[in-house]
């Protein structure tokens, strides 16, 4: 009902129309709504379907960018990381990071010392430390100590990227914004002066078309940025790079902190880290040349590359393709400078104004706030503040005392987790359950019920891969818990048995095609 009400509102006059429901789009959506602007966001698939649910899960300053001579990127990232740690605790959390210094790189120790000094000063703190081999072995006991001459320890942060996107959308909606998933932006409606003042919006679930008009259009479509710009006659300026990852069961490689690695074949920076009760391995960095209408997926050679690094640094664990729970791959846009090595391309962002469309692209998960501020500033010449209006659909009621009691009854770790993901709505989520979790995970059944009823879940994969991460963290994509999930959400989602069977079948197909460890040996 909420989505349909949002679709029916598209014909209203808008101040800002945002194309793209990833992290940059969600960030500027929230900021524009908070500024009192009538704000509409359109996402062609599901919210965070693209790279924003497929990042490396790091909210970091980018030490390697500093080592590569990109201090501005690091400076910006460090300051945005600190903002997120202050504002989104429970969702964005501090993470200890270890940087092992291999014997063949021991001469680089002064350089790393210098880089970490600058890294810490940017954050206004001093917490990093060098550990000699014996002490470092206590921090990283599973790392091959024979290759090391010690290592550094410092602090960064991690997040559930898809939930961060949805938290921003939730806050923007609470301030009057309207966001619609599975609704694509097609041809621009251009005024006599050639400036874009609207667009055709197509509901991908029904095929129905709408005309949406606004004072300014913000293009935050990520890897599809150049496709949108092509409608304005602009030449491509971006390079699409694919980063692929592995997720292992925590017991297979238990870690208390993230460990930065250099790949033995080419020296590329990689990392292994604890995430959501599992262990995440990332990342590759290669040109993505496949059809962008198909879901990106890891290629066998990328999997072999990641496993080669694990075998080199953790030889005693004997890990192979059979140990992998799931895989995922994301396509990120970077500004194309023509460098031969994709890893050397700058991760800085760009904001361009072209024919009434402000394009916001590049950057990292960490820097979405800065991108949003600069994007909205670039759009200011077309805008004037409008009286804030209520968005269509139902606004969630304010929590009652009973709701607050339900949240307080949860263990502190679970309560903090809910507060991080849902903010002021956390008590309402907690009240939908009795603390029961999906078997083998930290995900509350209450979260599933809330998402099915309130978070624009159109397909089961939306729930399993983005509103929660059960499809990544459970064996076989969560097949063993689907009966439990179905019992929890069918009523809230309004799915009868026939619809549930179809959703389950479609989800299993999607998981096998893009997330299965079977892709490593195809």
Per the CB < 8 A criterion, the answer to whether 472 and 326 are in contact is yes
Give the separation between CA 391 and CA 39, rounded to whole angstroms: 9
Nearest to 122 by CA among 156, 75, 162: 75
Per the CB < 8 A criterion, the answer to whether 276 and 158 are in contact is no
Phi, psi of 286 (to 5 degrees): -135, 160
Residue 38 is encoded by which pair of tokens? 């009538």
Burial class (CB in 10 A: 0-12, 13-18, 19+), 471: buried
Per the CB < 8 A criterion, the answer to whether 360 and 24 are in contact is yes
Give the separation between CA 355 and CA 297, rounded to whole angstroms: 35
Q: How much is the pLDDT for 385?
A: 52
Phi, psi of 337 (to 5 degrees): -105, 0
Nearest to 284 by CA among 210, 343, 325, 238: 343
Q: How much is the pLDDT for 178?
A: 97
Domains 2-52+162-237+346-382 and 92-157+239-337 share a fold: no
Is domain 2-52+162-237+346-382 given the CATH code 3.30.200.20 in the classification? no
Given the structure tokens 């935050």, which residue do they identify? Answer: 220
Ordered DSSP codes for 286-298: EE--S-TTSPP--
CATH of domain 92-157+239-337: 3.30.9.10
Compute how many other C-beta atoms are within 10 angstroms of the C-beta atom of residue 129: 11
Give the separation between CA 23 and CA 164, rounded to whole angstroms: 8
Residue 312 is encoded by which pair of tokens? 């080199």
Q: How much is the pLDDT for 1?
A: 58
| Residue-level pLDDT, tens digit, the chain, 522 residues | 588 999 999 999 999 999 999 999 999 999 999 999 999 999 999 999 999 999 999 998 877 777 777 788 888 888 999 999 999 999 999 999 999 988 877 777 888 888 888 888 888 888 889 999 899 889 988 888 888 888 999 999 999 999 999 999 999 999 999 999 999 998 888 877 778 889 999 999 999 999 999 999 999 999 999 999 998 889 999 999 999 999 999 999 999 999 999 899 998 889 999 999 999 999 999 999 999 989 999 999 999 999 999 999 999 889 999 999 999 999 999 988 877 777 777 778 899 999 889 999 988 899 999 999 999 999 998 886 544 434 433 345 678 989 999 999 999 999 999 999 999 999 999 999 988 999 888 899 999 999 999 999 999 999 999 999 999 999 899 999 999 999 999 999 999 999 999 999 999 999 999 999 999 997
Nearest to 91 by CA among 21, 10, 185, 164: 164
Domain ranges of the chain: 2-52+162-237+346-382, 92-157+239-337, 432-521
pTM, whole model, 2 decimals?
0.94
Q: How much is the pLDDT for 516?
A: 97
Nearest to 18 by CA among 232, 175, 216, 200: 216
Q: How much is the pLDDT for 397?
A: 63
Ordered DSSP codes for 225-284: HHHHHHTTTPPP-EEEEEEEEEEEEGGGS--SSEEEEE-TTT--EEEEEEETTEEEEE--
């Amino acid at each position: 009902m909420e989505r349909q009400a949002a679709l029916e509102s598209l014909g209203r006059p808008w101040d800002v129309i945002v194309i793209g429901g990833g992290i940059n789009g969600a960030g500027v959506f929230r900021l524009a709504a908070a500024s009192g602007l009538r704000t509409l966001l359109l996402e062609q698939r599901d919210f965070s379907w693209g790279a924003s649910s497929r990042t490396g899960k790091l909210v970091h300053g980018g030490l390697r960018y500093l080592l590569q001579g990109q201090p501005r990127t690091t400076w910006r990232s460090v300051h945005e990381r600190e903002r997120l740690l202050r504002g989104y605790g429970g969702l964005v959390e501090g993470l200890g990071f270890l940087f092992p210094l291999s014997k063949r790189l021991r001469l680089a120790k002064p350089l790393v010392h210098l880089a970490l000094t600058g890294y810490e000063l940017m954050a206004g703190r001093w917490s990093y430390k060098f550990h000699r081999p014996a002490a470092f072995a206590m921090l990283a006991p599973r790392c091959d100590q024979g290759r090391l001459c010690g290592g550094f320890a410092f602090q960064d942060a991690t997040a559930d990227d898809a939930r961060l996107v949805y938290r921003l959308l939730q806050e923007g909606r609470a301030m009057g914004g309207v966001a619609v998933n599975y609704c694509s932006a097609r041809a621009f409606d251009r005024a006599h002066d050639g400036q874009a003042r609207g667009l055709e919006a197509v509901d991908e679930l029904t095929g129905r078309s709408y005309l949406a008009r606004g004072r300014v259009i913000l293009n935050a479509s990520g890897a599809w940025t150049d496709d949108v710009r092509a409608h304005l006659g602009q030449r491509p300026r971006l390079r699409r790079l694919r980063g692929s990852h592995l997720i292992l069961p925590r017991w297979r490689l238990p870690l208390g902190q993230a460990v930065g690695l250099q790949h033995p074949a080419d020296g590329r920076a990689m990392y292994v880290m604890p995430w959501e009760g599992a262990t995440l391995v990332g990342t590759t960095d290669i040109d993505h040349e496949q059809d962008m209408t198909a879901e990106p997926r890891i290629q066998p050679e990328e999997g072999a590359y990641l496993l080669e690094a694990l075998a080199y640094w953790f030889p005693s664990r004997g890990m192979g393709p059979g140990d992998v729970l799931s895989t995922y791959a994301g396509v990120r846009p970077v500004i194309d400078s023509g460098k031969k090595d994709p890893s050397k391309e700058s991760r800085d962002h760009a904001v361009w104004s072209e024919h009434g469309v402000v394009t916001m692209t590049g950057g990292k998960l960490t820097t979405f706030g800065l991108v949003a501020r600069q994007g909205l500033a670039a759009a200011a010449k077309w805008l004037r503040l409008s009286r804030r209006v209520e968005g269509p659909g139902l606004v969630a009621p304010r929590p009652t005392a009973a709701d607050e009691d339900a949240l307080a009854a949860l263990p502190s770790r679970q309560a903090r987790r809910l507060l991080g993901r849902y903010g002021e709505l956390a008590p309402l989520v907690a009240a939908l359950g009795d603390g029961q979790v999906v078997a083998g995970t930290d995900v509350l059944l209450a979260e599933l019920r809330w998402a099915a009823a309130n978070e624009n879940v159109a397909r089961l994969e939306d729930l399993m891969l983005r509103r929660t991460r059960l499809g990544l963290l459970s064996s076989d994509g969560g097949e063993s818990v689907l009966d439990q999930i179905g019992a929890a959400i069918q009523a809230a989602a309004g799915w009868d048995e026939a619809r549930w069977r179809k959703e389950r079948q479609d989800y299993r197909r999607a998981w096998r095609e893009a997330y299965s460890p079977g892709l490593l040996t195809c």
